[in-house]
Structure 1
Amino acid sequence: MRLSNRNKTPFYSFIYSLAGIILVLWLIAFILEINKFDVLGDKSWVLLFIPTVMLLFLYLSGRPIFEYDSDGEALNFRNCHILFLLSQNNAKDEFPKYKLIKYNVVNVLMFSTLYVYVSSKKSNVVILKYDLTFMTKKEIKDLKFSLNKVVKTNGETSKDDNTVID
């Protein structure tokens, strides 16, 4: 199963561009307020507070592009940001399906995060984290269905390996 929200990239670019333009315009308004108009007096900091909170919210909401591919013998996860400045935290992971132990989708307020637990040779379990905030509920439901199928298959395989044949 392939799942991607890459087709929404132009919309996300528009939102980030709009937020940047608003920040620049409010910064110009702040400078004019301090130097020329002085209408707000000591409360001119409000002109910087609103766009700063908006940009902070966009930053904290995570990486908007999520791609998942379970075709074949491997699971592919890709979670990236559309802004170059924030692209250092991009996540791209590929591992065999049999290494998937479990997963967990955490929803806090309006933020969603996927935690994937993978077995490893060096340590017992590696936890991978992906942002699902920009995914629709239907896409998250499809992702859960596909991951449940892989976890169930892995559980049945491990039970078969533990049986003793006389």
Structure 2
Amino acid sequence: MRLSNRNKASLYNFINTLLLIITAAGFAAFFLEEYKFNIMGWESTLFIIIPLFLLLLFYFSGRQIFEYDSDGEALHFRNRNVIPFLGKPLSDEFPKYKLISFDVVSIFFIKRLYVRVTSKNSGSALLKYEVSYLTGKEINDLKISLNKVVKANNDKKTERR
């Protein structure tokens, strides 16, 4: 199964640009209000606080682009920002038999996918991906696909015993 929200990258770029413009306009409105008009008083700080809060909310909710591919004998996860310099992109590929478990954690507006795989060094490794920008249907499809892999791995382990 393949899952990707790469086609929404232009929408995320538009939202990012719009938030930057609104923030710049908020700073301009604050300085005009503070040094020229002086009508509002302390409420003029809202011209800075609200757009800055929305911009930080957009950035801290995680990497926008998530791609998942389970075709073949390997699982491939990619997670990146639409703004290249904002964070390091993640890309992991490993055989399906190494998948032990997974969990999707949702805290307010932030959703994360935690994947546990077997590792030679420490026994298991925890991989983290940000899936905040996936829709509910996409997250359910991802869970179904990963559940199939985990179930197949558990069935193989019980057959060996």
TM normalised by structure 1 equals: 0.92
1:149: which partner in 2? Answer: 148
Q: Which secondary structure state, in structure 1, belongs to the residue aligned with residue 87 of structure 2?
A: helix
1:74 maps to amino acid: A
Spell out, residue by residue over 1:114-153, the C-alpha distance to the aligned partner (whole angstroms, 9 max, x if none). 1000110001211111111111111111111110111011
Once the two structures are superposed, what CA deviation does each residue of 1:57-98 show, in whole Å capped at 9, x if it has no partner? Answer: 10121111100000111100001100123132x211111111
What amino acid maps onto 1:118 in structure 2? V
2:118 corresponding residue in structure 1: 119
- Partner of residue 52, structure 1: 52
1:161 is displaced (CA, Å) by 2.0
Residues 1-166 of structure 1 correspond to what in structure 2 (within 5 A)? 1-88=1-88, 90-162=89-161
Report the 3-state secondary structure (helix = DSSP H, G, I; strand = E; otherwise coil) of the residue aligned with 1:72. Answer: coil
Q: Which whole-Å CA distance do the structure 1 matches of 2:59 and 2:96 have between them?
A: 32
Q: Give, in angstroms, the shift of residue 34 of structure 1.
A: 2.1
CA RMSD of aligned residues (A): 1.2
Structure 1 residues 142, 40: closer, same or farther in 2, change over 3 A?
Answer: same
Shift of 1:159: 1.3
**Unaligned runs of at least 5 residues, structure 1:** none
Consecutive unaligned residues in structure 2, runs of 5 or more: none
Question: Residue type of the partner of 1:82?
Answer: V
Moved over 6 A (4+): none
Query: How many residues of Structure 1 are paired with residues of Structure 2 in the alignment?
Result: 161
Give SS of 2:132's match.
coil
Q: TM-score, normalised by structure 2?
A: 0.95
